Amino acid sequence: MNVPSTTPAAPEGSLLTAYDLHKTYGTTPALDGASFSIHAGEVVAVMGPSGSGKSTLLHCLAGIVSADSGTITYQGRDLTGLSDGARSTLRRTDFGFVFQFGQLVPELTCLENVALPLRLSGIRRKEAERIALEWMERLEVTDARAKRPGEVSGGQGQRVAVARSLVTTPRVLFADEPTGA
């Protein structure tokens, strides 16, 4: 097999690019040479059968897990070698993620869950909750603000998760089966 010795340049104007991503879990390959590119303002749907690597691809692109090999660039910056802390910072500032099953913190109220990314970035509680409440209003879940995730419907919980992913106004929003609930 002829493998290029260098990673090709990201397509001009690309916001996020992946090249030749590989990821295995034990002996099971989840990604086998996946490549991807998206420009600012684009909406992309990744489709495929269950078990085809869609969630793994999103988790790698968002820096939640590291690919075994390949490269990922964001705004021309190579993310492949970033530390866990640097990837976490990027997720707090530039990336939003809606998980397939919400992943809300059960001990927090829905309002506190939406405000959490802002609090982790150092924004004071009152200001973080004010901004969070604005997003909850947009998504019509203000009635859930004082409830814990286990006290709301699946659809409400997913809208709370969407509000949490948008509260930092990310440049890239990843959504793993956002309409499942």
| Candidate from 48-57, 83-92, 171-180 with smallest mean pLDDT | 171-180
Span 99-114, average pLDDT = 89
* Helices vs strands, H then E, count in the chain: 5, 6
- CA 148 to centroid of chain Cα atoms: 22
pLDDT > 80? residue 79: yes
Span 158-171, average pLDDT = 93
pLDDT of residue 101: 66
Segment 119-142, tens digit of pLDDT: 998 999 999 999 999 999 999 999
Nearest to 176 by CA among 64, 94, 68, 42: 64
Domain ranges of the chain: 14-95, 110-171
pLDDT of residue 82: 85
Q: In this structure, are residues 91 and 61 in contact, taking their beta carbons and an 8 Å threshold?
A: no
**For a pLDDT cut of 70, what percent of the chain falls above it?**
91
Return the sign of the alpha-carbon dihedral for residues 179, 143, 139, 98: negative
Q: In this structure, are residues 154 and 74 in contact, taking their beta carbons and an 8 Å threshold?
A: no
CA–CA gap between residue 108 and residue 116 (Å, rounded): 9
Span 6-22, average pLDDT = 78
If one looks up domain 14-95 in CATH, what number appears? 3.40.50.300
pLDDT of residue 18: 95
CA–CA gap between residue 136 and residue 132 (Å, rounded): 6
pLDDT of residue 50: 87
